[in-house]
Structure 1
Amino acid sequence: MKDGKPWVGDEVHDAGTGRNGVLTDVRSGIYVLRPLHGGPEWTSETDAELTVVVPLDEAPPRHSPRRARRRGN
């Protein structure tokens, strides 16, 4: 969170779509989110419908199983 508002890296709930995702970018006031388990990104024009579920500083490390397989892990 930044100044009490959702910010990049936070897991949020988007009340407008009913979905949870990770806030990945803010471009000219438009919030860009990606699903927690893959799929297309979506946007929100306001933070009023976004509620922080897990702030970045409390989130467990995110890890990509696909990436780990490529490294041989």
Structure 2
Amino acid sequence: MSDEQSPWMGDLVHDEDTRRRGIVTDVRGGTVWVLRPEWGQGQWASRRPDCLTLIMRREDLRDQL
């Protein structure tokens, strides 16, 4: 995954490991991505950013609100 396409806070992603979509809420130390569900409560962590597929950037999500 190139840096240009790496997901960052606020981005909507698909986590291939959990087969869920989520929004990145935190990036801890550049090694742990914390995600919350697109809808509903909870959170989970991913240590494999290469398994996170960018669906939509934060800026584009804001435009849809």
TM-score past 0.5 threshold: yes
Aligned Cα root-mean-square deviation (Å)? 1.2
Larger Rg: 1
The structure with the greater share of residues assigned to strand is 2
The Cα shift of 1:3 comes to 2.9
Aligned-residue sequence identity (percent) comes to 38
What is the aligned counterpart of 1:51 among 34, 49, 53? 53
Give the secondary structure class of the aligned counterpart of 1:6: coil
Runs of 4+ in structure 1 displaced over 3 angstroms?
Answer: none
Contact 2:34 2:46 in 1 (8 A): yes
Q: Distance in 2 between matches of 1:41 and 1:57?
A: 22
Query: How many aligned positions are there?
Result: 60
Using CA pairs below 8 Å that are at least 6 residues apart, which structure has the higher relative contact order?
Answer: 2
Q: Is residue 12 of structure 1 aligned with residue 13 of structure 2?
A: yes
Aligned match for 1:38, one of 30, 37, 40? 40
Task: Point out where structure 1 has 5 or more consecutive residues left out of the alignment.
Answer: 62-73
| 2:39 maps to amino acid | H
Q: Distance in 2 between matches of 1:7 and 1:46?
A: 13
Aligned pairs for 1:17-32 within 5 A: 17-28=18-29, 29-32=31-34
